[in-house]
Amino acid sequence: MATIINNRSTLTTDPIRNFRFLVSFIPQDTTNTTLSKLKTATFGFTSVSGMAVTTDSIPYREGGYNTTVHQIPGQTTFAPITLQRGVILNTNQNWEWMRNLFATVQAGGSTRSITQNFRCDLEISVLSHPLPKGGSEEGAAAATDHVAMRFHVYNAWPTSVAYSDLNAGDNALFVEQMSLVHEGFDVNWAADLSTQAASF
């Protein structure tokens, strides 16, 4: 009969939870008055979805070796990321970011100069739960939370901003949803509960 050496779960063997996370926006151009309101601002969201990468294959047939079809890596594409949160007073950053893209059509002329960049990097921090020893206690700064995973998303910009329906018969929250396209992401994991997932 096999002997089970470790049959008890611990914080280090538990999978990472998916409900504690923060999203930081890092504008590439701090001179842009529209995006400079963000300046590496960190927000909480209800959900973040679309963290996926796919590499297309290119089938290749060769006369000298034609018993099988070669599969060669092609272009890599990253799925759009969708962020969702409840609308709070004076939180118009997402709308202003989106509006900056179509200002030429809306206002008859863009206020963005050729040197200003509408793209932004994102850092998504997945926090541990429950808090490991030495983590943030009640009343302590959120910066001491243990970061189990960290995604860094490159060159993101919004393709859509949508708001939930208004319905007097509902008992619900007014929700904003934003979809971002980007040019790739990287992921870092924490080695253990005493170290943070490294920043990029």
Which whole-number Å values give the CA distances from 100 to 32, 110, 111, 168, in the listed order? 10, 8, 8, 32
CB atoms within 10 A of CB 180: 22
Which distant-in-sequence residues (6+ apart) come within 8 Å of 125 by Cβ?
A: 21, 22, 23, 24, 145, 147, 149, 150, 197
d(CA 109, CA 105): 7
Q: Render each residue's pLDDT in the chain as its tens digit; 200 residues.
A: 566 666 677 777 888 999 999 999 998 865 555 544 556 788 889 999 999 999 999 999 888 877 889 899 999 999 999 999 999 998 888 888 888 787 655 555 555 565 577 889 999 999 998 877 655 444 444 457 899 999 999 999 999 999 999 999 999 999 999 999 999 999 999 998 888 999 88
- Per DSSP, helices labelled H in the chain are 93-101, 103-107
